[in-house]
Structures are given as structure tokens and as C-alpha cells.
């Protein structure tokens, strides 16, 4: 009979071990390190200033030079040819900028406006828009929402009417991220109001086209480093070559786009929540009350336990769904679940982190209140909680 040594018999939990997820390999680790280094060195130091001014366009140029704007784009268009997980790495690491607005402005470009150009664009459109977008020389935005139609995408009124070799576009879009700085817009229009879901068409439009009007810069609760625009289109004439994808199939094209947008938003929520958790954990170790660190009160300890469990559950949903997405599946139900859950827990975590900070949590100086304000958008943008619940419920035939 063998006698177990002390080290064999006393198996201890590995709380300090790095928990690497199976979707990431060494290449992703290296990418994570290089993006993280860049974000901490070149972006984070400006976070406060950019809350006042919005972040400068030069961030796109710099990220283009570093190859960060086309991580999963084909190499023939200047991309890095990586997998979808590279986009997750970017979404996670950019939270180190401490600027939700910056992260959103970049994500709109990399994961919302340019993927439809890659998937549906003609060769000419890819050369004209995708290549400079990946280089950071052209900035993009995405126009779905209108003053009278947000959740109800099918209710949009922006009309594109064919006139010879051109289309004439009239209408407006609101809450458009990057709308002021963008060089081009992926624009959702109605081309046939009587054709139901088959009456929508996407266009790729240069923002210097006559009739493209930047009406207003909108003032927001959070995400201050991003610019948000109200746009109008007044007899804006574009060539028929500006159609992106198929005429009449724009609704399906944009529903596809929204899945990537929701998943990357969910990844950002998890990473942002984790960051807020980490900073608050440090605070709870240092802050003393009644003769001990506040983190050692059972009430506070349990708050951390609840937050960690929420973050971990959302992370697993995001990673597993991303794995399915990367494998070519179209897991709309799971993406909706991940988006719903990650957005909710991020706001809950940010709220609890403010509570644990006490008065300091309410002060701008500590940055926690900003996380709450920035995160709050995620329960609304890219499809509200209620719409996610509806998509999930309907997926069961209800
Ligand atoms: C900062 C910011 C940036 C944004 N960036 C962009 C962008 O770049 N491009 C873009 O196109 N859009 C953008 N949006 C718009 C965003 O996607 C919409 O605000 C969102 O989809 C909700 O639409 P809405 O604001 O019109 O709300 P509404 O659709 O008017 O909804 C109002 C309320 O009614 C609920 N509701 C609506 N329909 C239902 C239903 N069927 N069942 C139950 N409840 C329902 C909603 O959940 C919500 O609570 C941005 C928004 C913000 C705030």
C-alpha cells in the first residue's frame, strides 16, 4: 500500500492560477498583450481629456497602422486574417482605456459598419471603403435608428427612390455613433414600402455627398468620448453602385450585422465589469472602516462573490456563443441571451462597485460612476433588453 505524500493528499484550490479559456491560443495571448500595451500607453492617459473633447480621429489612424482595425478581415484587403476571437480580444483589451465612449466608437467601426462591407460589398466597394477603413484612413458609421423608429427597425422611413442610374435618398437617422466624424455611412433605407421585409436596401454613402446633413451633436448621459449625431438626408443623390448587397434584402443584411454587434457589445460588457470589479476589490482591501478593511466585512465579501459569479456566467455565455459564431453557426438565440445577460450584469456590477466605494463611488475622481453611466447604454443600444427578451421568447415559437 502506497502512502500519499503530504503534497498529494492536501489538494488546494488554485485561486491564483490564470484561467485561460479554450477558445484562446498563444496567438490570441500575444495579440492581447500588444493591444493591452498600446491601450494603456497611448489611450488610457487621455481618457479624462477625451470625456470633454471626444477622442480624436487620429486614434483610428494609429490603430490602423498597428493592424488593430482589421483583425479578422481578409489579408487581401489589408486585414490580419485572424479569427473572430481576435475581435473579442480587442473588445476586451480596449476597456483598459477606461473610456466606454472610445471603445464604442472603435467597435462601431470594426464590428458594426465594416463587416457588412466585407460580406456584402462589391470588389469596387471593398477597395473604396474597406481597405481605407482597415488602414484607419476612412472612418465609418452605421445608420439604422431614426427619430420615429428604433426597436422597430421595419418602421424606418428613410426612403431611397430609383431615378435612372441613381437613387434619391430622403429621411433622417439619429443617435448615430461616429456620425460627425465618419467619412462614410452604411445606411438602411426603404426602397419599396409595399414589400414588407423585402423592401429594404443598404447603401454605402460618402458623408460629403450633397444633401448629407449633420444636424446636431447629441448630448448624452455617458459615453462622452464618443460622438453621437442626428443626421438628415435631403434629396441626397447616390449612384446605383452605392447599393450594398442586394436591393430589397437590406433588412436581412442588417439583422445579420446586429448579431456581431450584440456579441461584441456583450464581450465589452464582461470585460468592463471585470475591470470595475478588480479596481473595486483593490479599494475594498485598502479602505478601512471600524478598524478593518471593508472587504473583510461579510456583507462586502458576499457582494464580491455575487459580482464574480455574475461576471463569470456572462463570460461563459459570451465565449461559448462566440465559439459557435466562429464555427459558422448563426446562434441568434444565444447571442440575444448573451447580450441581455452581459448588459444587465455589467450595470449591476457597476452599481454595486459604486456602493462599495461609498461616497468615493459618487465622485468623478474614482471613475466608477463613469463606468455605470457608460455601461447603462448597453441595455438600450444594439437592441434593448425588452427586444432581446422578445427575440429569445419568439425563438421558442411563442
Ligand atoms: C449612445 C447611443 C448610441 C447609439 N448608436 C447607434 C448607431 O451608431 N447606429 C444606430 O443605428 N443606432 C444607434 N443607437 C440607437 C439604439 O440602437 C436605439 O436607441 C435602440 O435600438 C432603441 O431604440 P429607440 O431608442 O428608438 O427606443 P424605442 O424603440 O422607442 O423603445 C422605447 C422603449 O420601448 C420598448 N419597446 C419597444 N418595442 C417593444 C416591444 N416590441 N416589446 C416590448 N418593449 C418594446 C423598448 O425596449 C424601450 O424600453 C444608439 C443609441 C444610443 C443611446
- Residue 217's beta-bridge partner residues? 229
- Give pLDDT, residue 20: 83
- Give pLDDT, residue 353: 98
| DSSP conformational letter for 86 | H
- Percentage, residues of the chain above pLDDT 90: 95
Flag the least confident range among 10-19, 83-92, 238-247, 298-307: 10-19
Calculate mean pLDDT across residues 283-296.
Answer: 98
User: Is the domain 26-139 a CATH 3.40.1160.10 member?
Assistant: no
- For ligand 1, whether the C-beta of 104 sits within 6 Å is no
**Ligand 1 center–CA 384 separation, angstroms:** 6
- For ligand 1, whether the C-beta of 156 sits within 6 Å is no
Say whether pLDDT at 4 is over 60.
no
Residue 330: all three cell numbers together: 448563426
Tell me the C-alpha distance between 79 and 71, whole Å: 6
Which CATH superfamily does the domain covering 142-248 fall into? Butyryl-CoA Dehydrogenase, subunit A, domain 2 (2.40.110.10)
Q: Whose CA is nearest to atom 27 of ligand 1?
A: 150
User: Which class is domain 252-394?
Assistant: mainly alpha
- Give pLDDT, residue 1: 44
9: confidence class by pLDDT, cuts 50, 70, 90: confident
Number of helices (H) and strands (E) in the chain: give both, helices first.
Answer: 15, 10
- Kindly list the distances between the CA atom of residue 36 and the CA atoms of 51, 86, 90, 146, in Å, as whole numbers in the listed order: 20, 13, 9, 36
- Give pLDDT, residue 2: 46
For the chain, give every domain's residue range.
Answer: 26-139, 142-248, 252-394
Judge if 142-248 and 252-394 fold alike in CATH terms: no
Say whether pLDDT at 75 is over 50.
yes
Residue-wise pLDDT tens digits, 332-381:
999 999 999 999 999 999 999 999 999 999 999 999 999 999 999 999 99
- Give pLDDT, residue 180: 98
- Nearest ligand 1 atom, CA 223: 1
- Nearest ligand 1 atom, CA 188: 11
- Kindly list the distances between the CA atom of residue 26 and the CA atoms of 73, 130, 270, 323, in Å, as whole numbers in the listed order: 19, 28, 21, 16
Task: Transcribe 163-225 into DSSP letters.
Answer: ETTEEEEEEEEEEEETTTT-SEEEEEEES-TTSGGGGEEEEEEETTSTTEEEEEEPP-SS-TT
5: confidence class by pLDDT, cuts 50, 70, 90: low
Average pLDDT, the chain: 96
Residue-wise pLDDT tens digits, 126-165:
999 999 999 999 999 999 999 999 999 999 999 999 999 9
- Nearest ligand 1 atom, CA 108: 8
Residue 112: all three cell numbers together: 458594426
- For ligand 1, whether the C-beta of 158 sits within 6 Å is no
Amino acid at each position: 500500500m502506497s502512502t500519499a505524500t503530504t503534497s498529494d493528499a492536501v489538494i488546494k484550490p488554485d485561486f491564483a492560477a490564470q484561467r485561460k479559456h479554450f477558445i484562446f491560443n498563444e496567438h490570441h495571448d500575444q495579440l492581447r498583450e500588444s493591444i493591452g500595451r498600446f491601450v494603456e500607453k497611448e489611450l488610457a492617459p487621455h481618457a479624462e481629456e477625451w470625456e470633454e473633447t471626444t477622442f480624436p480621429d487620429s486614434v483610428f489612424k494609429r490603430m490602423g497602422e498597428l493592424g488593430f482595425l482589421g483583425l479578422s478581415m481578409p489579408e487581401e484587403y489589408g486585414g490580419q486574417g485572424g479569427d473572430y476571437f481576435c475581435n473579442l480580444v480587442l473588445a476586451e483589451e480596449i476597456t483598459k482605456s477606461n473610456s466606454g465612449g472610445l471603445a464604442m466608437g472603435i467597435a462601431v467601426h470594426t464590428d458594426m459598419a465594416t463587416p457588412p462591407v466585407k460580406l456584402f460589398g462589391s470588389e469596387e466597394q471593398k477597395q473604396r471603403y474597406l481597405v481605407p477603413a482597415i488602414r484607419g484612413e476612412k472612418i465609418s458609421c452605421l445608420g439604422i435608428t431614426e427619430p420615429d423608429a428604433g426597436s422597430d427597425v421595419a418602421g424606418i422611413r428613410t426612403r431611397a427612390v430609383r431615378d435612372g442610374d441613381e437613387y434619391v435618398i430622403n429621411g433622417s437617422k439619429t443617435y448615430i455613433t461616429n456620425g460627425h466624424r465618419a467619412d462614410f455611412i452604411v445606411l438602411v433605407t426603404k426602397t419599396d414600402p409595399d414589400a414588407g421585409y423585402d423592401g429594404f436596401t443598404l447603401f454605402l454613402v460618402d458623408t460629403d455627398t450633397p444633401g448629407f446633413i449633420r444636424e446636431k451633436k447629441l448630448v448624452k448621459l455617458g459615453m462622452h468620448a464618443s460622438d453621437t449625431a442626428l443626421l438628415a438626408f435631403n434629396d441626397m443623390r447616390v449612384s446605383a453602385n452605392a447599393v450594398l448587397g442586394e436591393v430589397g434584402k437590406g433588412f436581412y443584411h442588417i439583422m445579420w450585422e446586429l448579431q456581431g454587434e450584440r456579441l461584441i457589445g456583450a464581450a465589452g460588457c464582461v470585460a468592463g465589469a471585470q475591470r470595475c470589479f478588480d479596481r473595486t476589490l483593490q479599494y475594498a482591501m485598502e479602505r478601512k472602516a471600524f478598524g478593518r478593511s471593508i472587504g473583510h466585512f461579510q456583507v462586502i465579501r458576499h457582494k464580491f462573490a455575487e459580482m464574480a459569479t455574475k461576471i463569470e456566467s456572462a463570460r461563459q455565455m459570451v465565449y461559448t456563443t462566440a465559439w459557435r459564431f466562429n464555427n459558422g453557426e448563426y446562434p441568434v438565440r444565444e447571442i440575444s441571451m448573451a447580450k441581455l445577460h452581459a448588459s444587465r450584469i455589467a450595470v449591476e456590477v457597476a452599481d454595486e462597485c459604486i456602493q462599495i466605494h461609498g461616497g468615493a463611488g459618487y465622485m468623478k475622481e474614482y471613475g466608477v460612476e463613469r463606468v455605470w453611466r457608460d455601461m447603462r447604454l448597453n441595455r438600450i443600444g444594439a437592441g434593448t433588453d425588452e427586444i432581446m427578451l422578445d427575440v429569445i421568447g419568439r425563438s421558442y415559437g411563442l
